[in-house]
């Protein structure tokens, strides 16, 4: 085989074909991860995608409205005296789709400000991630109490921030989760009250009749279900939960 003469100019590397419209964003992102602009191998791409999928449930739980909704639905089931009805799969499905409804403005903003420009090649992956984080930061900040932010800021010995936009995720995320838990238990307490009154009335009635061996929960459950159906409880609960995120 003939050798290249010494001093001859080296041939330019073959040009990388432009990303296609279907997989361009993902291919370019994985290529940037490799560090030299070349796409990663298929096995490494699958490994990265599987790693991202393991983080996704935590992001859904901690950075969206899912936590508040699933806790309120679980407390509602306990207030009705139903142990496994609706089953856990149904409650998780309801919480997931209601979370998608509540988070739709945020998801649309992420798609418009970050994903669409990145898919068109207008911004880098770092800029797309930064824009997405800013959108979620705004949503979480609106649902977080100032007292919780001050508490975690003092625990982290962080300087006093001039505005909520300057609070980092390391402080905002635990404050947001704490606020969501407090709000969920407040809503659950309001849901428990009418059903607790029914339990007290039924228990006192059975006591006065001398039926102390009969479980009050067996008698009160039909009345609680009747009350819940008469007031259209599911629509009222779903509407109240969705409205609790309005700012």
Q: Rounded to an integer, what distance in angstroms lies between the CA atom of residue 69 and that of residue 87?
A: 15
Q: What is the DSSP string of 115-137?
A: IHHHHTTSS-HHHHHHHHHHHHH
Question: Strand ranges (DSSP E) for the chain?
Answer: none
Of 152, 151, 143, 146, nearest to 181 by C-alpha is 143
Number of Cβ atoms within 10 Å of the Cβ of 220: 22
Average pLDDT over residues 138-152: 87
Higher pLDDT pick, 182 / 61 = 182
pLDDT tens for each residue of 204-231: 887 887 777 777 777 788 888 888 888 8
pTM: 0.72
Question: Strand ranges (DSSP E) for 119-201?
Answer: none
pLDDT tens for each residue of 75-127: 888 888 877 778 888 888 888 889 889 888 888 888 888 888 877 778 777 78
Boundaries of every domain in the chain: 59-242
């Amino acid at each position: 085989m003939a050798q290249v003469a010494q001093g001859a100019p080296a041939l330019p590397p073959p040009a990388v074909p432009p990303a296609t419209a279907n997989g361009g964003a993902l291919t370019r992102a994985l290529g940037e991860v490799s560090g030299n602009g070349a796409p990663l191998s298929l096995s490494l791409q699958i490994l990265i995608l599987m790693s991202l999928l393991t983080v996704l449930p935590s992001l859904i739980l901690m950075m969206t409205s899912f936590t508040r909704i699933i806790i309120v639905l679980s407390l509602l089931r306990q207030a009705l005296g139903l142990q496994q009805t609706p089953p856990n799969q149904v409650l998780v499905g309801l919480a997931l789709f209601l979370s998608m409804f509540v988070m739709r403005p945020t998801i649309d903003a992420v798609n418009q400000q970050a994903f669409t420009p990145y898919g068109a090649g207008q911004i880098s992956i770092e800029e797309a991630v930064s824009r997405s984080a800013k959108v979620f930061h705004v949503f979480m900040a609106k649902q977080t109490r100032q007292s919780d932010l001050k508490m975690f800021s003092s625990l982290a010995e962080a300087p006093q921030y001039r505005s909520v936009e300057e609070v980092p995720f390391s402080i905002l995320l635990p404050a947001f989760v704490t606020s969501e838990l407090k709000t969920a238990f407040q809503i659950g307490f309001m849901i428990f009250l009418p059903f607790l009154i029914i339990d007290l009335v039924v228990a006192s009635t059975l006591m006065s009749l001398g039926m102390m061996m009969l479980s009050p929960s067996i008698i009160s459950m039909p009345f609680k279900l009747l009350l819940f159906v008469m007031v259209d409880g599911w629509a009222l609960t779903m509407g109240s939960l969705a409205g609790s995120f309005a700012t």
